Amino acid sequence: MFKAIADPADCEVRSVIRLLKAKKVKPAEIHRQLVEFYGENVMTDGMVRKWVRQFNDGRTNVHDEARSGRPFVVNDGLVAKVNEKIRENKRFTIRMLFDEFPQISKTVLHEIVTSSLNYRKLCSRWVPKMLTDVHKMK
**Each residue of 93-138: pLDDT tens digit?**
889 889 998 888 888 898 898 888 888 876 666 666 777 788 778 7
Task: Name the CATH architecture for the domain at 10-57.
Answer: Orthogonal Bundle (1.10)
Computed over every residue of the chain, the mean pLDDT equals 86
| C-alpha–C-alpha distance, residues 4 and 6, integer Å | 6
pLDDT at residue 104 in the model = 86
Alpha carbon distances (Å) from 57 to 98, 106, 119, 133 = 47, 44, 52, 64
Residue 38: what residue type? Y
pLDDT (mean) for 11-20 = 94
Domain residue extents for the chain = 10-57, 76-116
Number of residues written out for the chain: 138
**Each residue of 66-88: pLDDT tens digit?**
777 766 677 888 899 999 998 89
Element holding 119 (H helix, E strand): strand 119-122
Question: Does the pTM of the predicted model rise above 0.75?
Answer: no
